[in-house]
Structure formats: C-alpha cells, structure tokens
Amino acid sequence: MAAPTFALNHMVAPQMPLGAFFKLGKTLGINQFEIRNDLTGNAILDGTSPYQVCELAAGEGVEIISINALQRFNEWTPAREEEARSLATYAAACGAKALVLVPVNDGTGKLEGERQGNLRVALKGLKPILEQASIIGLVEPLGFQICSLRSKKEAVDAIQAINGTDRFKLVHDTFHHVLAGEPDVFPAMTGLVHISGVDDGQVSVDDMRDPHRVMVTAGDRLANVAQIRALLAQGYAGPFSFEPFSPAVHATTDVAGLVKGSMDFIRETL
C-alpha cells in the first residue's frame, strides 16, 4: 500500500499569511496546499491578485491543489453562475488545479427529486465554466442532517448522468463521511480527501460540528486511519489535506508541531 501524500488546507492556520503558510508546509515536507476564499484579511478576500498568489507558490515551489470553495453551488442562479466564473478564473490564474463545490447546508433543497434535480442543473451549468478554466470541480457532500447533498453516491450518479466524469470529482471528507453514515467510498471518483479528527468524547455524532474538528490523534473518534487505509488500498492516490476548524487548533503557537504529530501518528498507525 502506498504511503499517504499530505496537504494543508489554509484552515490549519487561517490567520497565517499565504507565503508563511506555504513555508510552514515546506518545513514539514508538504508541497500541496488548499487556499480559501472565506478568510477575512487573507488571500483571496483581502484583494490579493491571483498572479501574486501564483508567484508566492512558484517562489516556494509548491502546488495549489484547490480553492475552497464555491458555496451553495447546487442552488444554481445567475448570481451563482457569476460567482463560479469569477472563482474559476481566479483558480486558473493562480495555478490552482480545482475548485471545491460546497452544497446548500441550511435545511432547504433537501426534498427527494428536488435535491437530485438541483444538483444536475448546477453540474450542467458548471461544466463549461470549469472546462474553459481547465480546472476540476470537487463536489463535497456534507454529512450534516440539514444538508442538501449528504450522499457521495448521489453525487456520483449526478456526475455520470451529465457526462461529467472528466470534469468533476468527489471530496471525501472523513468527518462528513462519518456524519452521513454512508459506508461506501468511491476511490476512482475521489479527487481530494479532507482529514480532521474529533477527540471530544462527550459529543454525539449527530451533534458534531466544525468547531469539534481537530488534528488526527490517538483520541480520534472518526476512524480516520481506517478511512485512509481503505482509500489507499482501493487505489486512491491523491492528497490527504488537513482541514481542522477547531478554535483550539487555530490558537496554537506550534502549528508545525501539531501537523507533524498528526502525520507521524497516521503513518505509524497505518
């Protein structure tokens, strides 16, 4: 079985400027990064041009695997289309390989039939935009009960229905995989894996939320290592990107130590 390739999502250290974030990864032997468009005071929201981002990455010799994310992608409106074009253009210009697509997560758009229809309309609308930018769309089902796209199988079915397998892949998120309760993994359709752990022994699975998401440790309740092992064993060869949302992680003074500890734990336990 191949060793996992690790990547860093900017959520590991959201307050860290992009250049420093790339340097942090490099010191840990990590060369692949996800940048975000939801971090106030940081690229992209601070107005940093995609060409500056591209230069920063080139200067460190690193790869930007994705921009995270086009929100509410499966609620396809003229405004969403405009936002998708803008993000896809930015992604192409900064050298990002993909754009993460996050579904509506507020309890709407969940009805049987409506859900699948909305998803196909959005994928059809996105496909030419992604083709023009020469990037991949990474569809990320969320496990929350209020989410309009919880099932990876449903995402795969929709991608195949619009002949989109060359342009769309899945994000397998280890946290959302557990919350969704969907046993199947789709390694051949997976373009990116997000990893984070939950150590809190008090919270029920249904009540787990982003702030519970820490680095992967021996206390992990999400069976990250088993998920990683299964994906690798079935042929997934892409990156495993750390995406912790916990304020405790964001407040640490030794983010490098946390990341290194988590990588070491995963490698040793695999």
Report the share of the chain in percent with pLDDT over 90: 96
- Tokens standing for 201? 């022994």
| Mean per-residue pLDDT, 222-226 | 98
| Mean per-residue pLDDT, 237-258 | 97
**Phi–psi pair at 137, nearest 5 degrees:** -95, 125
Distance (Å, rounded) from C-alpha 108 to C-alpha 128?
26
Asked if residues 206 and 144 have their Cβ atoms less than 8 Å apart, the reply is: no
What's residue 232's pLDDT? 97
H/E element holding 60? helix 50-60
Listed residue (66, 68, 128) closest to 95, CA to CA: 66
Summarised one tens digit per residue, pLDDT across range 119-164 is 999 999 999 999 999 999 999 999 999 999 999 999 999 999 999 9
Listed residue (152, 228, 162, 148) closest to 196, CA to CA: 228
Is 1 strand, coil or helix? coil
Residue 219 C-alpha from the chain's centroid: 23
What's residue 92's pLDDT? 97
What's residue 258's pLDDT? 97
**Would the pLDDT of 1 be above 90?**
no
**Would the pLDDT of 2 be above 90?**
no
CATH classification code of 5-269: 3.20.20.150
Distance (Å, rounded) from C-alpha 100 to C-alpha 138?
5
Longest dimension (CA), the chain: 49
Report the share of the chain in percent with pLDDT over 70: 100
Asked if residues 245 and 211 have their Cβ atoms less than 8 Å apart, the reply is: yes
